[in-house]
């Protein structure tokens, strides 16, 4: 299951639980703008937006059609 938003930057993953947005991570850590946005699972695994979409579909977590085809956004989940 997708547990929250995450941004992977360098060798570190910054994450916040749902219902936070990626913007909330950037508010706390403004220097990580160039990081890869994605999500983290209940197993602590980082997934980029494309892999997270597949994971969310398999887990039945989508609340409706995705905002952008092929990518998961927090609005698609909560």
In the numeric block, the tokens 């698609």 are attached to 76
pTM above 0.85, yes or no: yes
Give me the chain's average pLDDT, please.
96
Domain boundary assignment for the chain: 2-76
* Position 67 pLDDT exceeds 90: no
pLDDT of residue 33: 87
Q: What is the dihedral of CA 43, 44, 49, 51, to 10 degrees?
A: -40
pLDDT digits (tens, 9 = 90+) for 7-49: 999 999 999 999 999 999 999 999 898 899 999 999 999 999 9
The token duo for 47 is 């997934």
Instruction: Determine the average pLDDT of the residues in 50-61.
Output: 97
pLDDT of residue 55: 97
């Amino acid at each position: 299951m997708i547990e929250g938003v995450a941004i992977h930057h360098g060798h570190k993953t910054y994450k916040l639980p749902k219902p936070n947005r990626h913007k909330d991570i950037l508010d706390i850590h403004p220097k990580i703008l160039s990081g890869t946005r994605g999500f983290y699972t209940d197993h602590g695994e980082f997934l980029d937006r494309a892999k997270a979409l597949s994971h969310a579909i398999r887990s039945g977590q989508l609340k409706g059609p995705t905002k952008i085809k092929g990518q998961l956004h927090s609005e698609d989940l909560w």
